[in-house]
Amino acid sequence: MSARSSVVGIVAPQGARQRREHRESVPAGPRKASVEYRNLAPSELIEHAIRRGEGKLASSGALVVETGVHTGRSPDDKFIARHGELADEIWWGSVNQPVAPDAFSQLHADIVNHLAGHDRYLMDLSAGADAAYGLPVRLVTESAWSALFAHNLFLPGREDDDRAGEGWTVLHAPRFQAVPELHQTGSATGIAIDFEWRRVLIAGTEYAGEIKKAIFTVMQGILPERGVATMHCSANEGRDGRTALFFGLSGTGKTTLSTDPERRLIGDDEHGWTERGIFNFEGGSYAKTIGLSARDEPEIYRAAQQFGAVLENVMVDPDSRRPRFDDDSLTENTRAAYPLGFLDPAAGGTGAHPSNILFLSADAFGVLPPVAKLTRDQALYWFLSGYTSKLAGTERGVTTPTATFSACFGAPFLPLQPMRYATLFSDRLDRHGSQVWLVNTGWTGGPFGVGERMPIGLTRAAVAAILAGSLDHAAVDIDTVFGFAIPRSVPGVPDRLLRPRETWSDPGDYDLTAQKLVRDLEANFEQFAETAPASVRAAGPTR
């Protein structure tokens, strides 16, 4: 480690200074001397965080922090500088809002000045376990615990690793408030990316997930041009070397189901698929912890409580300091950030081309079966749809289950058009023959409020059957509405649950609810009517 008083690593590179003017000098007038700490060890970062009042230790040794008013991502405050070679390819709109280069420069300069006046932490890290596609990442932050978070989530880096100027810099200033009139943001919060300048700016939010997802967005912007299919998914590997991918939105079980003591975890959230196989972008896990228990998720439960782990917005007992994972007083989006090594020293890295790909959907309508086999075109239809559901009570005004869609199971992190990713994914499917499955981790026997959540044990049984190859040649029935193939028998899953219509007390109600989901799927897919191949458009459900 080292401590310095200069603003290391946050001045504009020479090329950028030639392109435009930047106010990066420290403003005139008296200023408190600040110190920059470089690549501190986790134990040192924890000491700093506690001394600075940023967090406290749980009884297990994990660092417990709160993220203030922002307990999740701020998608409405995400921007991309509109210039450079990539500008014409960006998926502009509500996901990727444009910001003028001059406004980005102004925000950059003001954040640099802000950081220069405070103690800050510089971490040299990297993203991408495949060295051929790895990305150097330099984080500069005013928060010791955020530096620890990044240390846990990213891969190690080298101080002298710039890879011919390909590295990215993240300037993280959670206590800096953006000025909408000056910085062209919509609020005091701003997450801005400049692909031409290779910079990420994060201001006005203490939610550390913005750091992780910003770099994921960067990887999804630059790697498709190199033929890499970038994916928002988890991945693991069996003892036979066969790998599996798990796609799904938040709350569908992506992390839980991929963390299996019988299989090596490659990664729980972000991967690339190349000609050689798959590789993890990260070195850690960012697991949801609401309801976490030693019984249902023992590996994650242990990892989340080790010394060096970060617990975000998790309440602790004031006397015993034990985490209360059932307490959602601050938010339901409680999280744990820890290195993959806390789960298994062999976790992380790369894997072979996937044999099986699972799309996870927490269907709160209760009309999808526990498992269904998809054709290649059906796989692309559901990949572009990215379906799961919002539950009653999770958002203001939501009183009944509501279908929600996220293209490629990760729309907020797609800087390019969704069909760009679907085309790369399709090419990989065609080349390597991966089998794709739809797995419902949501409700059965009726919708939310009437039926019951699919027991995790039954979902694990279905997943185990898929990965063991038990369903590859199983007898199936073709669903008359959704068109996918439903196995007639799955080891460990009652046959009755495989036919969801039979689990409802009133089959007529099932039919009406299924048709409502069909209409929602059709309405969402209209956005791909002109870009998706006809065979994919025809692979959706029917009325």
Beta-carbon count within 10 A of 81 CB: 26
Q: Does 213 participate in catalysis according to the annotation?
A: yes
Residues 207 and 132 in one domain: yes
The beta strands (E) that lie in 176-331 are given as 190-194, 199-203, 229-237, 243-247, 264-267, 270-273, 278-280, 284-288, 310-312, 315-316, 323-324
Closest Cα to residue 42, out of 116, 119, 123? 123
Residues 406 and 270 in one domain: yes
Residues 197 and 93 in one domain: yes
Query: Does some domain include residue 519?
Result: no
Closest Cα to residue 69, out of 175, 147, 161, 221? 175
- Domain boundary among the residues 488, 506, 523 is at 488
Residues 49 and 120 in one domain: yes
pLDDT at 165: 66
Q: Is the pLDDT of residue 55 over 70?
A: yes
Q: What's the CATH code of the domain at 312?
A: 2.170.8.10
Q: Angle at Cα 149 formed by Cα 235 and Cα 288, nearest 5°?
A: 50
Q: Which of 25, 43, 94, 250 is catalytic?
A: 250
Q: Which of 151, 335, 390, 420 is catalytic?
A: 335
Cβ atoms of residues 2 and 38 within 8 Å? yes
What's the CA gap between 125 and 157, in Å, rounded?
4
Query: Does some domain include residue 503?
Result: no
Q: What's the CATH code of the domain at 175?
A: 3.40.449.10
Beta-carbon count within 10 A of 534 CB: 8
How far lies 299's CA from each of 86, 88, 336, 450, 464, in Å?
41, 44, 13, 32, 17
Averaged confidence pLDDT in the chain = 92
Residues 307 and 396 in one domain: no
Q: Confidence band (pLDDT; 50, 70, 90) for 250?
A: confident
Q: Mutual orientation of helices 144-153 and 42-51 as an angle, nearest 10°?
A: 150
Q: Does 250 participate in catalysis according to the annotation?
A: yes
Q: Which of 232, 263, 373, 428 is catalytic?
A: 232
Q: Is the pLDDT of residue 395 over 80?
A: no
Q: Angle at Cα 345 formed by Cα 341 and Cα 346, nearest 5°?
A: 115
Q: Which of 67, 70, 71, 73 is catalytic?
A: 73
Query: Does some domain include residue 76?
Result: yes
pLDDT at 278: 98
Query: Does some domain include residue 16?
Result: no
Q: Does 255 participate in catalysis according to the annotation?
A: yes
Tally the domains of the chain.
Answer: 3
> Is the alpha carbon torsion for 418, 419, 420, 424 positive or negative?
positive
Q: Which of 82, 120, 254, 390 is catalytic?
A: 254
Query: Does some domain include residue 10?
Result: no
pLDDT at 4: 45
Please report where in the chains the tokens 């408030």 appear, as a residue.
Answer: 177
Residue 196 identity (one-letter amino acid): E
Q: Does 254 participate in catalysis according to the annotation?
A: yes
Residue 495 identity (one-letter amino acid): D
Residues 193 and 297 in one domain: no
Q: Which of 146, 255, 259, 406 is catalytic?
A: 255
Q: What is the mean pLDDT of residues 269-287?
A: 97
Query: Does some domain include residue 493?
Result: no
Q: What's the CATH code of the domain at 468?
A: 3.90.228.20
User: What φ, ψ does residue 105 adopt, rounded to 5°?
Assistant: -60, -40
Q: Confidence band (pLDDT; 50, 70, 90) for 408?
A: very high
- Domain boundary among the residues 181, 210, 226 is at 226
Q: What does the pLDDT look like over 128-167, one tens digit per residue?
A: 999 999 999 999 999 999 999 999 999 999 655 655 567 9
Residues 39 and 133 in one domain: yes
Q: What does the pLDDT look like over 181-236, one tens digit per residue?
A: 999 999 999 999 999 999 999 999 999 999 999 999 999 999 999 999 999 999 99
Contact residues for 425 (Cβ-Cβ < 8 A; gap 6+): 229, 231, 273, 380, 383, 408
Query: Does some domain include residue 533?
Result: no
Which residue range is the domain that position 407 belongs to?
A: 229-283+349-488
Q: Confidence band (pLDDT; 50, 70, 90) for 476?
A: very high
Residues 149 and 274 in one domain: no
Cβ atoms of residues 227 and 255 within 8 Å? no
Q: What is the mean pLDDT of residues 349-376?
A: 97
**Residue 413 per-residue DSSP state:** G
Q: Which of 48, 82, 213, 373 is catalytic?
A: 213
- Domain boundary among the residues 297, 316, 342 is at 342
Q: What does the pLDDT look like over 500-514, one tens digit per residue?
A: 999 999 999 999 999
Q: Is the pLDDT of residue 342 over 60?
A: yes
Residues 233 and 118 in one domain: no
Contact residues for 479 (Cβ-Cβ < 8 A; gap 6+): 369, 372, 485, 486
Residues 222 and 252 in one domain: no
**Cα-to-chain-centroid distance, residue 17:** 33
Q: Confidence band (pLDDT; 50, 70, 90) for 354?
A: very high
Residues 206 and 246 in one domain: no
Q: Is the pLDDT of residue 15 over 50?
A: no
Q: Does 56 participate in catalysis according to the annotation?
A: no
Query: Does some domain include residue 397?
Result: yes
Residue 42 identity (one-letter amino acid): P
Cβ atoms of residues 370 and 495 within 8 Å? no
Residues 83 and 187 in one domain: yes
pLDDT at 158: 66
